[in-house]
Amino acid sequence: MTVPHDPRESATARYALLPLRLFLGLTFLYAGLDKYLDSGPFSAFSREHTITLLEFSHDGSPVPWLVDLALDHPTLVGHGTAVAEILVGLAVLAGLATRAAAALGALLTLLMWLTVSWSTSPYYFGADLPYLFGFVTLLLTGSGPYALDDLRERGRRRRGSLMFG
C-alpha cells in the first residue's frame, strides 16, 4: 500500500536545512570576524588565554603533536583559523560550494575537538561536536534552498538542455 504524497511534507523537508545553514554560517562568520576585533582572541588577554588553554589541554589530547604545532606557530594558526572561519561562514550562508565549505568546517571543528575539548567530560559538554555533526550533515546533503549552488546547478542544466535539445 502506498501512502499518498503530502506536498507540505516535501516543502518542510526542502527547507529543513535552512536553519542549520544560517546557524553554522552566522556562527562561523562571527567567530572569524571576532578574532580581528579589539576584544577578540588576538588581543593580548585572549592570546595569552588561548595559549594557556592549549597548554592545559596538551596532555589530555589524543594528538599532542598537533597542540605543539599550534603552540609553536600561534600567529599562523590564529590567522589561518580566522580566515577559514570567515570563508566557511560566508560560503555556508550563501550556499556557495556548500559541500566544500562544510568539509572545511567539519575539519576545523574536528581539529578543535581533538586539540582543545577532547577531555571535556562528559563529552556532551564539549561545544565542538554539535558543530562537527552539523557540518557533516551539510556535507552529505548539500545546501538546500536559497543557495547559489542551486542557481549554478539550474544554469548548468539549462545550458546542457540547450546543447542537446
Look up residue 45 and give its three cell numbers: 588577554
Q: Residue ranges of the alpha helices (H) in the chain?
A: 7-15, 17-34, 44-57, 64-72, 74-94, 98-112, 128-141, 148-164
- Res 21: pLDDT: 96
**Does residue 87 register a pLDDT over 70?**
yes
* Position with higher pLDDT, 95 vs 2: 95
pTM for this entry: 0.83
- Res 1: pLDDT: 52
The set of long-range contacts for 139-142, using a CB threshold of 8 Å and a minimum separation of 24, is: 139/99, 139/102, 139/103, 139/106, 141/17, 142/98, 142/99
For the stretch 100-151, pLDDT in tens is 999 999 999 999 999 988 888 888 888 899 999 999 999 999 998 899 998 8
- Res 53: pLDDT: 81
Comparing C-alpha atoms, which of 56, 61, 64, 146 is closest to residue 98? 146
- Res 112: pLDDT: 93
CA–CA separation, 154 and 163 (whole Å): 14
CA–CA separation, 77 and 50 (whole Å): 11
For the stretch 27-82, pLDDT in tens is 999 999 988 886 655 565 566 777 788 888 888 899 999 999 988 988 888 889 99
Up-side HSE of residue 20: CA atoms within 13 Å toward CB? 23
Q: Check if the beta carbon of residue 25 is closer than 8 Å to that of residue 86.
A: no
Q: Check if the beta carbon of residue 77 is closer than 8 Å to that of residue 57.
A: no
- Res 83: pLDDT: 94
CA–CA separation, 58 and 78 (whole Å): 17
- Res 139: pLDDT: 96
For the stretch 153-165, pLDDT in tens is 887 777 776 666 5
Domain boundaries, the chain: 18-164
